[in-house]
Amino acid sequence: MKRHHQILPKVALAAILATPNAGFTDTLRAIAPQEHGAQQQEFVHGSPQVPSKEWTLAAGGRIYDNWWEALDRPEPDGINPAYPVSVNDQQTGSGTWRCKECHGWDYQGAGGIYSQGSHFTGISGIMGMRGAPIEEIMPILRNESHPYTTDMITDDEMLRVAHFVSEGLTDMRAFIDYDTRTVIAGVGDTDRGRAIFQTTCAACHGFDGRAMDWGAGDDHNFVGTEARELPDEVYNKISNAHPGAAMINLRAFSLDDRISVMRYIASLPSGLDD
Ligand code: HEC
Ligand code: HEC
């Protein structure tokens, strides 16, 4: 890390002196966050020889989030032909190939958080398939609504997604207030969340969650920012990890533990001045 040798402009230096941690996050932002070393390739994109159920569900969840980042495939070129452009002309890029774009971070599609706004499609959620047999789910994932070729997602990989649909979904209405899109006050255990965060997540995100910043310019985006604004997305990252990144996940921990971590990180700083 070149932190100590950097020559900082006077303005930046003043800002750093005025705000604790600013220098730290400023420096880290210069490093492309999704890059990972060759020794992590297997953990990030490969699969274990004897996959546990927990690994399979998290791996399926990462494909649901962003399959090309999860599987190290080329990003699809342009809009998904199955995307309903007549309903929503605001989404035009490769993002329309992500499962979450049509079915939501909360798996409830137009019946959930994507019932309005720039991600609205009118497409239903997938919660109705919870507990369904894999043989019933697999053909759906290759039908005309899902034009994924086996070059994009192989059958083995799609099987992970089917397991995720059958056994990996959670009803987020139990812990997210859908009117305000925030974690419901009183759910989870802050002390338990703090304990897990400080002993696992902090290795990369720092004790105050500000060691990594995926914001642009002055628009800072820390785990704290994300947990306050997009708890449904953060719940997916906690349970499955961030696709393409060398990040751990808490799939093997209880649902209560995952909610507690989410509740705790929503209390961490969301900006540089907090
Ligand atoms: C471009 C939009 C779009 C994307 C992206 C998309 N789907 Fe769908 N999906 C649909 C539509 C449309 C249906 C049919 C829903 C309906 O009957 O209203 C559907 C149905 C489903 C169903 C059946 C739900 C039920 O209750 O019958 C499942 C499961 C499903 N999708 C999973 C996925 C998964 C997993 C991915 C990613 C690999 C994905 N979808 C990506 C549009 C999409
Ligand atoms: C081994 C390092 C590591 C650990 C441990 C780790 N993360 Fe991450 N996390 C990352 C990386 C790398 C990213 C990707 C950042 C990016 O793409 O800009 C990330 C991204 C995230 C994101 C945001 C993804 C987004 O862009 O929306 C959240 C939320 C998150 N982590 C939460 C957690 C939580 C909670 C824990 C503990 C359960 C945790 N992380 C543990 C490395 C880690």
Ligand 2 mean position, distance from CA 87 (Å): 33
- How confident is the model at residue 218, as a pLDDT? 84
Mean pLDDT of the chain: 89
126 touches ligand 1 (CB under 6 Å): yes
Segments of the chain assigned E as strands: 176-177, 182-183
Residues 144-149 have a mean pLDDT of 98
Q: Collapsing DSSP states into helix, strand and coil, what is residue 259?
A: helix
Q: Collapsing DSSP states into helix, strand and coil, what is residue 260?
A: helix
- Contact 114/139 with Cβ under 8 angstroms? no
pLDDT of 254 > 80? The answer is yes
- Express each pLDDT in 177-224 by its tens digit: 999 999 999 999 999 999 999 999 999 999 999 999 988 888 899 999
- How confident is the model at residue 76, as a pLDDT? 97
pLDDT of 113 > 80? The answer is yes
Lowest average pLDDT, out of 12-16, 116-120, 152-156, goes to 12-16
User: Nearest C-alpha to atom 24 of ligand 1 is from which residue?
Assistant: 126
pLDDT of 20 > 80? The answer is no
- How confident is the model at residue 206, as a pLDDT? 97
- How confident is the model at residue 136, as a pLDDT? 98
DSSP 216: B
- Contact 99/64 with Cβ under 8 angstroms? yes
Beta bridge partners of 216: 219
Query: Sign of the CA dihedral 26, 32, 33, 39?
Result: negative
Residue among 66, 205, 207, 214 to mutate when testing ligand 2 (max atoms within 8 A of CB)? 205
Chain region(s) in the chain for CATH 1.10.760:
172-274
Distance CA 182, CA 114 (A): 15
Give the pLDDT band of residue 268 (cuts 50, 70, 90).
Answer: very high
Residues 6+ apart with CB under 8 A from 159: 134, 138
Residue type present at position 250: L
Using the CB atoms, write b or e for 186-222: b if 16+ within 10 Å: eebbeebbbebbeeebbeebbebbbbbbeeeeeebbb
- Contact 114/104 with Cβ under 8 angstroms? yes
Other C-beta atoms closer than 10 Å to the C-beta of 233 total 18
Distance CA 87, CA 152 (A): 26
Q: Collapsing DSSP states into helix, strand and coil, what is residue 177?
A: strand
Residues 6+ apart with CB under 8 A from 118: 88, 90, 91
- How confident is the model at residue 256, as a pLDDT? 97
Distance CA 141, CA 99 (A): 10
Measuring from each residue's beta carbon to the nearest atom of ligand 2, which residues come in under 6 Å?
33-34, 200-201, 203-205, 212, 214, 223, 226, 233-234, 237-238, 242, 245-248, 250, 261, 265
pLDDT of 14 > 60? The answer is no
- The bound ligand whose nearest atom lies closest to the alpha carbon of 263 is 2
Beta bridge partners of 177: 182
Ligand 1 mean position, distance from CA 145 (Å): 6
Distance CA 78, CA 191 (A): 45
Give the pLDDT band of residue 34 (cuts 50, 70, 90).
Answer: low
pLDDT of 30 > 70? The answer is no
- Token pair recorded at residue 90: 């605001």
- The bound ligand whose nearest atom lies closest to the alpha carbon of 121 is 1
CATH class in words for 172-274: mainly alpha
- Express each pLDDT in 40-94 by its tens digit: 999 999 999 999 999 999 999 999 999 999 999 999 999 999 999 999 999 999 9
